[in-house]
Amino acid sequence: MTASRQVAPARSAAPSAPSGPSAPSATATAPWDELPARIRARGLRWTPQRRILLEVLSRSEGHVTGAELVERCRAADPSTVPSTVYRTLDVLEELGIVQHAHGADGREEFHVLPVSQHGHLHCLGCHQSWEISSDEAAALGRVLERERGFAMDLSHLTVSGHCRACGGDG
Amino acid sequence: MTASRQVAPARSAAPSAPSGPSAPSATATAPWDELPARIRARGLRWTPQRRILLEVLSRSEGHVTGAELVERCRAADPSTVPSTVYRTLDVLEELGIVQHAHGADGREEFHVLPVSQHGHLHCLGCHQSWEISSDEAAALGRVLERERGFAMDLSHLTVSGHCRACGGDG
DNA sequence: GATCCTATTGCAACGCGTTGCAGTTACGCA
DNA sequence: TGCGTAACTGCAACGCGTTGCAATAGGATC
């Protein structure tokens, strides 16, 4: 048995969205090529481990859990260790390459190349998830801003509840 | 050194709210007394371990993390094991005694005796947290309901961002 | 009070993620 | 090309939370 590349950990399936289509992974200007330079320009280093993670990320779309990324890196290089992956993800987050959030179950989810700020919707019934556009969350943002001076970070938002199919409608 | 009852794990300080005062732990009708009966009525059992957790909970207000509850139970009975605490919390959640959510860092937080549905606001700068009333979240709820038929579970909502003091205002 | 059924417990192991530390290595510079 | 520094890696251990399993013990019934 090889390192089976388990992709969906049974609790965070994120299939196609029924009403809100997901962004088709535009790969805008392929920032992957410039990354080594950007990294070095910051005094950071371009290592084989980082290259592998970047390759994995460049093939990913939507949300990926940390564990999934570790698994995929391990498929590319069995000697991969989790701590390196997570630390590299931290670095990449500072560079704006990924953005992390916490799913409804508290697990970390990474979003690759955040095209636009968006939150997540998670159904407690069927465990599907969808994206919330900034438009939709705008009202909440405005209320918090106006009444509390609180600047919401949409990308970190996960709203749980029940979708139409699972009894969302009365 | 005894089992030091560490209360604030340094990453989820939740002091008094600056604009939204927290509910003053009304202890409405003290449901603690009826609990043994309610539990037995369901075919469940009233055990010493559950009694201890209930005592701990009855002395808690606001949000408590799972680890904190384990710690406090251990203070009352050093032989307490985490799995029992967490399993009992599951049972109590079904009975409506507690409600769990995931904080901004993904850790579990339990809310004792949820007086009214409310979400949480978490400042990424100072790590304070406040409650979001259902009024405030209503707009978001309406949008999701109308456009997606999605029934938001407010109690599970944590909004991250920056408060006024930490740069929330432009 | 004795008996029986099964809910519950404690244990041990696991999974995800983080952290401290010592050894390694990328890479700027002479 | 060789050198030096500090960024990075891998390891080991930890913390939080979950799960499977065998043993225990509520509590209903007689």
Give the distance from residue B115's alpha carbon to the nearest chain A alpha carbon, in angstroms: 19
Crossing angle of the two packed helices A82-94 and A48-58, in degrees rounded to 10: 70
pLDDT at A25 over 90: no
The residue with tokens 């549905």 is: B117
- Return the pLDDT at B5: 28
> Taking residues A29-33, what's their average pLDDT?
70
Written as six digits, the tokens of B13 are 């300080």
Q: How far is the CA of B72 from the C1' of C10 (A)?
A: 18
What is the per-residue pLDDT across B92-120, written as a single tens digit (0 to 9) for each? 999 999 999 888 788 889 988 766 778 88
> Taking residues A105-132, what's their average pLDDT?
83
* Residue B44: partners with Cβ closer than 8 Å, 6 or more residues away: B91
Q: How far is the CA of A90 from the C1' of D1 (A)?
A: 35
pLDDT at B7 over 80: no
Chain-centre distance of CA A25, in angstroms?
Answer: 12
What is the per-residue pLDDT across B124-158, written as a single tens digit (0 to 9) for each? 888 888 888 888 888 889 989 998 999 998 888 88
* Residue A67: partners with Cβ closer than 8 Å, 6 or more residues away: A9, A107
Q: What domains can you pick out in chain B, each with its CATH number?
A: 31-114 (1.10.10.10), 116-170 (3.30.1490.190)
Check A168 against B160: CB less than 8 A apart.
no
